[in-house]
């Protein structure tokens, strides 16, 4: 115990009480200090868990062996926006490319709350029971706006997420639509190389995300809810024309009858629409993830579709077209970004804006002015 000397300062006011006192602490005991230092030196150093940096070959080997930790890290690498990660991620993709393309790629879309995740949980468990290896990915370019969905999916796919045969990966967060597309596509390739034979991609049916997912899958399932005839009109014709099957979900309890009515109505509409895949007739089905009724039947439709596509050679053609248009899309985005970052083009855009706002130039002349400025920059 330290010993203190107490004294009263000489500047204390007249009549001050006990509170006006100072304490002088004893100095540091040199001997004790030396003892403590020696004890610290002798103590075992706590083991340091430093994550080992993996080489490209480590990643490739780990992914091909389906080491889930390495797979998850490889995905993180392709999802990273850091330039050094990007380069490494691309090297990994290049090396695993020969091992990709063997899976059945299915996209699942529908309005929020349509029951996509619950359907995936029901179907996914059946697929795992039958010996499939399943990867579930989510694509949601707006996830930085609506934070909750990832958490929701994790709880909704509770049993599936615990199964060793299933790998669930939430949507890459934020970024441009082009960025999200690249990340999702490359994640899909990594999962295929890891031996997952079925890839289910969930996307919320709003905005452009369904176009994105349609362009990376073989089969596209559109999940809808029951409703009166009026509700059907709210569904965009364009979206229906991208679907290979329409699933009227939640066909259970009181909803069962309405679901079968809705299914018939969808069938009628489909009659007048162009099918999404040449040689394939898009049909409507009902199912319930609660009772399990109709869930496996949907998978049988997917299998029939895949067999037919393979027979006709359309699967190969579709995948080639998808890969090519992806290349063009990425190139276009890069060109656009580079042009829009050029200071001279930016200055010209401002001039154009002023001319348009002040009605001193026609739209055609303004566009021409902008093109001339871009051409001049490209020639430099």
Ligand X SMILES: Nc1nc2c(ncn2[C@@H]2O[C@H](COP(=O)(O)OP(=O)(O)OP(=O)(O)O)[C@@H](O)[C@H]2O)c(=O)[nH]1
Q: Spell out, one character per residue from 43 to 82, where the chain touches ligand X: x when CB under 6 A holds, - when not.
A: ----------------------------------------
Q: Spell out, one character per residue from 152 to 181, where the chain touches Mg ion: x when CB under 5 A holds, - when not.
A: -x----------------------------
**Choice from 78, 180, 204, 213 touching ligand X (CB under 6 A):** 204
- Would you count residue 117 as binding Mg ion (CB under 5 A)? yes
Residue 104 binding result from Mg ion, ligand X, none, given CB thresholds of 5 to 8 Å by partner type: none
Which residue has 């399932």 as its token pair?
Answer: 221
- Would you count residue 288 as binding ligand X (CB under 6 A)? yes
- Would you count residue 110 as binding ligand X (CB under 6 A)? yes
Q: Residue of minimal CB distance from ligand X?
A: 115
Residue 182 binding result from ligand X, Mg ion, none, given CB thresholds of 5 to 8 Å by partner type: none
Q: Of the two residues 192 and 202, which places its CB atom closer to ligand X in the complex?
A: 202
Q: Which stretch binds Mg ion (CB under 5 A): 78-86, 148-156, 157-165, 325-333?
A: 148-156
Q: Which stretch binds ligand X (CB under 6 A): 49-57, 246-254, 271-279, 318-326?
A: 246-254
| CB 123, min distance to ligand X, A | 11
Q: Of the two residues 89 and 172, which places its CB atom closer to ligand X in the complex?
A: 172
The CA distance from 101 to 303, in Å, is 16
Q: Which stretch binds ligand X (CB under 6 A): 65-73, 116-124, 177-185, 367-375?
A: 116-124
- Would you count residue 150 as binding ligand X (CB under 6 A)? no
Q: Are 110 and 226 in contact (CB under 8 A)?
A: no
- Would you count residue 289 as binding ligand X (CB under 6 A)? yes
Residue/partner pairs of 252-261 with CB below 8 Å, 24 or more apart: 252/288, 252/290, 252/291, 252/293, 255/226, 256/286, 256/288, 258/226, 258/227, 259/226, 259/286, 260/286, 261/226
Q: Of the two residues 170 and 195, which places its CB atom closer to Mg ion in the complex?
A: 170
Residues contributing to the site for ligand X (CB under 6 A): 110, 112-118, 149, 152-153, 156, 204, 249-250, 252, 288-290
Residues contributing to the site for Mg ion (CB under 5 A): 116-117, 153
């Amino acid at each position: 115990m330290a010993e203190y000397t107490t004294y009263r300062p000489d500047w204390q006011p007249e009549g001050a009480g006990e509170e006006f006192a100072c304490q002088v602490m004893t100095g540091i005991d040199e001997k004790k200090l030396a003892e403590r230092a020696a004890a610290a030196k002798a103590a075992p150093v706590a083991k340091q868990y430093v994550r080992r940096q993996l080489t490209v070959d480590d990643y490739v080997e780990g992914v091909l062996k389906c080491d889930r930790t390495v797979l998850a890290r490889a995905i993180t690498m392709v999802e990273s926006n850091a330039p050094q990660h990007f380069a490494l991620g691309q090297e990994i993709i290049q090396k695993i490319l020969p091992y990709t393309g063997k899976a059945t790629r299915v996209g699942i879309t529908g309005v929020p709350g349509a029951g996509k995740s619950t359907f995936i949980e029901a179907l996914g468990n059946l697929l795992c029971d039958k010996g499939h290896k399943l990867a579930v990915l989510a694509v949601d370019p707006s996830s930085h706006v609506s934070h909750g969905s990832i958490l929701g999916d994790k709880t909704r796919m509770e049993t599936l997420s615990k199964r060793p045969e299933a790998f669930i990966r939430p949507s890459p967060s934020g970024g441009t639509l082009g960025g999200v597309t690249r990340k999702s596509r490359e994640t899909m390739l990594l999962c295929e190389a890891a031996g997952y034979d079925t890839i289910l991609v969930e996307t919320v049916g709003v905005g452009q995300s369904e176009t994105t997912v349609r362009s990376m899958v073989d089969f596209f399932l559109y999940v809808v809810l029951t409703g009166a005839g009026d509700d059907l009109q709210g569904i965009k014709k364009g979206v229906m024309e991208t679907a290979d099957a329409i699933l009227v979900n939640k066909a259970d309890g009181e909803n069962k009858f309405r679901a079968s009515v809705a299914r018939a109505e969808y069938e009628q509409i489909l009659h007048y629409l162009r099918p999404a895949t040449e040689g394939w007739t898009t049909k409507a089905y009902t199912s319930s993830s609660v009772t399990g009724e109709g869930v496996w039947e949907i998978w049988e439709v997917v299998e029939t579709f895949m067999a037919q596509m393979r027979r006709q050679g359309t699967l190969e053609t579709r995948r080639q077209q998808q890969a090519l248009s992806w290349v063009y899309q990425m190139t276009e985005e890069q060109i656009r970004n580079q042009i829009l970052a050029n200071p001279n083009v930016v200055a010209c855009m401002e001039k154009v804006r002023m001319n348009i706002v002040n009605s001193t130039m026609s739209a055609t002349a303004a566009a021409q002015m902008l093109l001339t400025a871009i051409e001049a920059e490209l020639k430099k």
